[in-house]
Amino acid sequence: QQQVKQSPQSLIVQKGGISIINCAYENTAFDYFPWYQQFPGKGPALLIAIRPDVSEKKEGRFTISFNKSAKQFSLHIMDSQPGDSATYFCAASITSGTYKYIFGTGTRLKVLA
Amino acid sequence: GAGVSQSPSNKVTEKGKDVELRCDPISGHTALYWYRQSLGQGLEFLIYFQGNSAPDKSGLPSDRFSAERTGGSVSTLTIQRTQQEDSAVYLCASSLDTWGYGYTFGSGTRLTVV
């Protein structure tokens, strides 16, 4: 119940294309869903986050779509650029308590120039 | 400081030795977390500090792992009698004690047990 399942494991997209990464969860108590971007040799960096009271959040080229009934959320990267090549992690947490995150296993994105 | 600082960045140790990993959180961040990232895996929660106390130690994999935090600031993760399966990147993160703020991670310590 504590798992967050992330897919695909890896993704190759042409420059200018749309990258889509999906996550699914079971625990309905989760109420905060961040996405992190990690470059090699660096720690993950917060990209965008959403709460379940909204169905979509957009920041620049990055959009989270959230489907509460399906217990799924996804990251869309519009106009993907080679600089977006990184590993992306979704996560979920329960914001009462320790704010411990349960992370997905990551998606390695490569954007071809 | 401006970010979360971790040291050393890399550590190679012999099986059976003890190691200490250090984390300097962002000044003023009361919450501090340790995570472990194994090759090709997601991030695995180890321990959470609020101030100097650790209300959630549920992720520590065995009693060989311990952590402390002093002065509400620096934290040390200690692994005793290291094993090869302890090889991983150990990440520290800090946050303000408010749900709306995501973590800020350090760059991690890559631990290799040989």
The answer to whether B99 contacts A32, with C-beta atoms less than 8 Å apart, is: yes
- DSSP letter for each residue of B18-75: -EEEEEE--TT--EEEEEEE-TT--EEEEEEEETTEEEE-TT--STTEEEEE-TTS-E
Q: Is the pLDDT of residue B89 over 70?
A: yes
Tell me, what's the pLDDT at B39?
Answer: 80
The model's pLDDT over B64-86, given as tens digits with 9 standing for 90+, comes to 999 999 998 999 999 999 999 99
The answer to whether A49 contacts B48, with C-beta atoms less than 8 Å apart, is: no
Confirm or reject contact between A106 and chain B (CB < 8 A).
yes
In chain A, residues with a C-beta closer than 8 Å to the C-beta of B31 are: 99
Q: Return the residue in A32, A101, A108 with the most chain B beta carbons within 10 A, the one to mutate for interface testing.
A: A101
Tell me, what's the pLDDT at A8?
Answer: 97
Evaluate whether B56 touches B49 at the Cβ level (below 8 Å): no
The answer to whether B91 contacts A44, with C-beta atoms less than 8 Å apart, is: yes
Q: Amino acid identity of B31?
A: A
The answer to whether B99 contacts A41, with C-beta atoms less than 8 Å apart, is: no
In chain B, residues with a C-beta closer than 8 Å to the C-beta of A97 are: 56
The token pair at A103 is 């992370």
Confirm or reject contact between A107 and chain B (CB < 8 A).
no
Tens digits of pLDDT across chain A (113 residues): 679 999 999 999 999 999 999 999 999 999 999 999 999 999 999 999 999 899 999 999 999 999 999 999 999 999 999 999 999 999 999 888 777 899 999 999 999 99
The model's pLDDT over B28-62, given as tens digits with 9 standing for 90+, comes to 899 999 999 998 778 999 999 999 999 899 999 99
